[in-house]
Amino acid sequence: MKKILELKNVGLTYQTPKDEINAVSGLSFSVNEGEFVSIIGPSGCGKTTVLSMIAGLIPATGGKIEFLAKKERKDCIGYMLQKDQLFPWRTIEKNILLPLEIKKSLTKERKEYANSLLKKYGLYEFKDNYPSELSGGMRQRVALIRTLVFSPDILLLDEPFSAIDYQTRLSVCNDVYSIIKAEHKTAILVTHDISEAISMSDKIVVLTKRPAKVKSEFFPGLSGETPLKRRELPEFSLLFEKIWKELN
Amino acid sequence: MKHESFSVNRIEYLKKRRKNTVTVHVLRIGLLLLALSLWELLAQFNVIDSFITSSPSKIAVTVYKLFAEDSLAYHMGVTLYETMLGFLIAVALGYAVAIMLWWSDTLKRVLEPYIVVLNSLPKIALGPIIIIWCGSGTKAIIFMTVLVSVVVATITMLGGFLATDKNKVLLLRSMGATKVQIMTKLVVPSSVPTFISMLKISIGMAWIGSIMGEYLVSRAGLGYLIVYGGQVFKLDLVMAATVILCVLASLLYGAVALLERKIVK
């Protein structure tokens, strides 16, 4: 498999008025094309910071982040945040076209592609509705489609399910996973939920406490087709226990 | 929804609610009528001196006289013009300054103490300066109106801009948005509710400014009528102008509220 992203000895020290904080140090891992990678670690270890560095929102102060995709970094990365972050004053259609407006690439083909995504994932009939009229799960799907409209290669998911209630979460998790796989995207998921990581990932990167670096890597390779089915496998709980121990 | 599908409890509840609304309206109007008739009766039977207190009937006659002399529309027009122009300038200026302060954190920090001082300063203290600078005419009144409303307008609007959801800013930045795009796509639309409250506050402040300005310098307008009436001890005129002012102020506030209902769904 081809590598699409590689972090080499990445470090980050940032300044606050009170202190200098060494958040990340000597962090190295790589992501292959089409792979689903999860990053987990003790809370406050800088998981989100790692995503922000990959997205180019915070420049790393040491090491190197290499992209092996052909496009520019801002066009090859789609960022999905905690909560859907849909704009309440825009309709669903206007919401998903937002990245294209920002990138000034709102062509007819792009718009058609956006609409085809809405159709494919059962949201087309809601395109003129406002976000407040949709359920939490649907809004999350809209948020994912918004990330997909400009055809990024890598999706960065920052605990995208943490704001949803458990019941909905399992099914949204399933939806998002199958959409990402159907669109052949590479994904990096930050989560604090071990079972979510196991059920979705090809590879799990466990980080240490601050300053964060890689503690260990796991390759679940579970056979179930969907995250929900994988949760029923006997290997699932074995792996859960292993990672749980690794984290404590 | 069909009426017959309602449960008995629901119908009871709706009835009770409607009854309550009716009661509130009746009491509201009743209170006004009671006060007016008490005032009128006390004046008629000379319990109170209507030379000092005026009376509803005298106020009505005065309003009618002003109307018949064609001076009612004139004075109303003058005050309305000063208030509206001052209000519009203050809103535009306040919005523009708020954008500048949002844009540059350094500028915001530099200007903060000045804004605080300007906000707490009673603007009437600047009356003499304004008269010397702008002369004793409409210009001075509009200047006063702007001065009274603009600081609060700026502070309110800036508060709205700064309350923009940080995560949404992050989302736009991850898409590669420029600062102008963050402003136009996110900060401006998300602060529409603040903009409406800013309009409501500013319209009230503008009335204070224009009437205060007219007290100081004018030869026309409702504020002028009030001051003039006070000086020649024509309480009927003072009361009449005040009543008209009340009506105008509620109409303008109503216009803003209507705008709110149109914009904010």
Long-range contacts of B63-70 (CB under 8 A, 24+ apart): B63/B240, B63/B243, B63/B244, B66/B240
Q: Are residues B169 and B200 in the same domain?
A: yes
* Whole-number percent of chain A with pLDDT over 90: 31
pLDDT of amino acid B89: 97
pTM for this prediction = 0.85
Determine the Cα angle at A223 with ends A222 and A226, to 5°: 90
Asked if the C-beta of B109 comes within 8 angstroms of chain A's C-beta atoms, the answer is no
Tell me which residues of chain B, numbers 171 to 200, contact chain A at a CB-CB cutoff of 8 Å. 171-177, 181, 185-186, 189-190, 192
Q: B181 and A102: CB-CB below 8 Å?
A: yes
* Residues B44 and B63 both lie in one domain: no
Say if residue B122 is preceded by a cis peptide, omega within 30 of 0.
Answer: no
How do residues A120-163 score in pLDDT, each as one tens digit? 888 999 999 999 999 888 898 899 899 999 888 899 999 888 87
Q: How many domains would you assign to chain B? A: 2
Q: What's the pLDDT score for residue B1?
A: 47
pLDDT, average across residues A216-245? 86
Question: pLDDT class for A222, splitting at 50, 70, 90?
Answer: confident
Structural domain of B22: 3-48
Task: Report if residue B214 sits inside a domain.
Answer: yes
Query: Nearest 10 degrees: CA dihedral of A89, B94, B91, B202?
Result: 100
Interface probe with B: pick from A102, A133, A142, most Cβ of B within 10 Å:
A102
Q: Which domains does chain A have, with CATH numbers?
A: 1-69+183-248 (3.40.50.300), 72-152 (no CATH)
pLDDT digits (tens, 9 = 90+) for A48-62: 889 989 988 888 898
CB contact under 8 A, B177 and A102: yes
Does A171 score more than 80 pLDDT?
yes
Residue B235 lies in a domain: yes
CA-CA distance, B136 to B156, in Å (whole number)? 31
Q: Hey, CA dihedral for A108, A4, A29, A171, is it positive or negative?
A: positive
Tell me: do B126 and B234 sit in the same domain.
yes
Whether residue B140 sits in one domain with residue B38: no
**Across A208-236, average pLDDT:** 85
**Chain B residues with CB-CB distance to A81 below 8 A:** 167, 170-171
Same domain, B66 and B153: yes
Would residue B234 count as lying in a domain?
A: yes
If asked whether residues B82 and B11 sit together in one domain, one would say no
Are B94 and B224 contained in the same domain?
Answer: yes
How far is the C-alpha of B248 from the C-alpha of B259, rounded, in Å?
Answer: 17
**Which strands, in side-by-side order, build the sheet including A36-40?**
A77-80, A154-158, A186-190, A36-40, A203-207, A214-218
| Count of A-B CB contacts under 8 Å | 41
Are A81 and B171 an interchain contact pair (Cβ–Cβ within 8 Å)? yes
Q: Give A14's pLDDT tier (boundaries 50, 70, 90).
A: confident
Question: What is the full per-residue pLDDT of chain B (265 aa) written as tens digits?
Answer: 445 678 888 889 999 999 999 999 999 999 999 999 999 999 999 888 888 888 999 999 999 998 888 888 899 999 999 999 999 999 999 999 999 999 999 999 999 999 999 999 998 899 889 999 988 889 999 999 999 999 999 999 999 999 999 999 999 998 989 999 999 999 999 999 999 999 999 999 999 999 999 998 878 899 999 999 999 999 999 999 999 999 999 999 999 999 988 887 6
Is residue B242 located within the same domain as residue B221? yes
Tell me what pLDDT residue B3 has. Answer: 55
State residue B98's pLDDT score.
96
What pLDDT score does B39 carry? 93
Give me the CATH number covering residue B242: 1.10.3720.10
Each residue of A65-90: pLDDT tens digit? 888 877 777 778 899 988 889 999 99
Of the candidates B165, B177, B189, which has its C-beta nearest A89's C-beta? B189
Sheet holding A20-32, edge to edge: A20-32, A3-15, A62-67
Residues A168-206: b if buried by 16+ CB within 10 A, e if exposed: ebbebbbbbbebbeeeebbbbbbbebbbbbbbbbbbbbb
Helix (H) / strand (E) containing B260: helix B235-263
| Per-residue confidence (pLDDT) for residue B180, from 0 to 100 | 95
Quote the crossing angle between the two packed helices A166-182 and A136-148, to the nearest 10°. Answer: 20
Whether A3 contacts A31, CB under 8 Å: yes
pLDDT at A93: 94
| Residues of A engaging B, defined by a Cβ cutoff of 8 Å | 55, 57, 74-75, 77, 79, 81-83, 85, 87, 89, 98-99, 101-103, 156
The answer to whether the Cβ–Cβ distance between B176 and A83 falls below 8 Å is no
Measure CB to CB from residue A81 to each of B170, B177, B189 and give the nearest one.
B170
